[in-house]
Amino acid sequence: MSEPHDLTIREAATALRDGSLTAAALTDAVLARAAVTEPAINAYITLTADLARQQAANADEELRAGRDRGPLHGIPVALKDIIDTAGIPTTAGSDFLRDRVPQSDAFVTRKLYDAGAVLVGKLNLHEFAMSTTSINPHYGPVGNPWDPARVAGGSSGGSAAAVAAGSALATLGSDTGGSVRLPAALCGVVGLKPTYGRVGRSGVVMISWSLDHVGPLTRTVEDAALMLNAIAGYDPNDGGSAEDPAGDFTRDLGRGVEGLRIGIARKLFWSRCDPEIEAACEAAIDVLRGLGATVHEVDLPLLHGARRTPILAVEAAAYHSTWLRQHADRYGDDARSLLEAGALIPGTAYVQAQRLRTKVIDETRALFNTIDVLASPTSPVVAPTIEAGDPKFVLARYIMDFNVTAIPAISIPCGFSGNDLPISLMLGGRHFGESALLRAAHAYEQATDWHRRRPSL
């Protein structure tokens, strides 16, 4: 068996049930791994070792008694520190909320507890989840496990780095403009943004009511499906939550991609891409073609005009308006700049952007009558150094479009650069079409071995 901290959810779940591993031993292994990796990558703001050990002991007792809550029972996970946890600080990566202790759990926290998951800690992030690097001025930058001098991506940098490093078997992040998929890509793990409304967001510190999503970061596509099974569902306290029945997102894994139609929108998602990344993603599409998929050139002309949408900045400024008046000097420079700029955008521009977005969503729905999956690189470049950062938001060039369109999207490892940094392919699916999306991603993953590689940290 692999080292316990290197196991997938599926592998660990099997070991917990055949008696070769206990939840207590698994949790101790993950906490020990965090002790080794944290000085370099700084993925955690708070480790909850005592709680984790108690939850693991409870899981072992329940499993011995025949009470099996499902595949996540006894699995060590961690949460981006914008997700509320009762009795445990939730800082949102900020200075003035560092002592904030929620009285109740977020919707997704409770769903994971109900599934028997073990919470090992709260994860570092870009301040208030507002940018692409997770260089946090209050808690320090998150280092990339493949090269700690490089960024882990943002805003869910700690969520991706912990999975890649083995200090959690799975994590949750949030995605407003790519913040699950981008760090997953830069750290070489799987990151899934579900359809808007698929996963409830009550108890999550928000950026944008109409663009925010919560999603899992894992080592494999199957693990992402298992996490989505646990957290999906209608949330009555989230006005954007959908009542669409979730079902089992693992049900189509293994069906392959014979006859699946893959769309390539080169003008939108392949422009100004590093040649090494473009070649790796083209090779990944060739793998899917070899498995029986067909490939089609497509376009989304209205989406071109929606790329510089002010929606995120305006909604973030509205959410933070009171805090910004009270604590302006305690925000980091980049977060404060975004919020101040958003406050200056006129309401007419916001309304027009939302009108255009409605048309873009209609355009996207029409496109998915002709294709099943939309494929592109996740990021046009590999992880830059922490010193260089991402001042022009190059890392996010392709990803926010999937928030504007509200469709599900997944980032999966598809190669490495010449300097051994991860490269990832992004796949998008039709609204509430996660099963077909996961099916395609799983088929590619099983035909390659990129997901099996681990950093030497």
Active-site annotation, residues: 80, 155, 179
Q: Where are the alpha helices (DSSP H) in 120-199?
A: 157-165, 181-187
Number of neighbours of residue 39 by Cβ within 10 angstroms: 9
Rounded-to-integer distance, Cα 114 and Cα 91, Å: 24
Question: Which pair of tokens denotes residue 281?
Answer: 């993603």
Q: In whole angstroms, how far apart are CA 278 and each of 202, 221, 244, 284, 441?
A: 38, 22, 36, 10, 18
Q: Which residues have a Cβ under 8 Å from the Cβ of 274 and sit 6 or more positions away?
A: 380, 381, 382
Largest CA distance in the chain: 62
Backbone angles phi, psi at 295, to 5 degrees: -120, 135
Residue with tokens 């955690």: 44
Backbone angles phi, psi at 450, to 5 degrees: -60, -35
Rounded-to-integer distance, Cα 343 and Cα 318, Å: 7
Number of neighbours of residue 85 by Cβ within 10 angstroms: 24
Rounded-to-integer distance, Cα 355 and Cα 210, Å: 13
Backbone angles phi, psi at 77, to 5 degrees: -130, 170
What three-state secondary structure class fits 255?
coil
Rounded-to-integer distance, Cα 151 and Cα 43, Å: 11
Region of 406 on the Ramachandran plot (φ > 0 left; ψ -120 to 50 alpha; else beta):
left
Rounded-to-integer distance, Cα 191 and Cα 145, Å: 16
Rounded-to-integer distance, Cα 78 and Cα 156, Å: 12
Structural element, H or E, at residue 119: strand 118-123
Cα 449 off chain centre by: 21
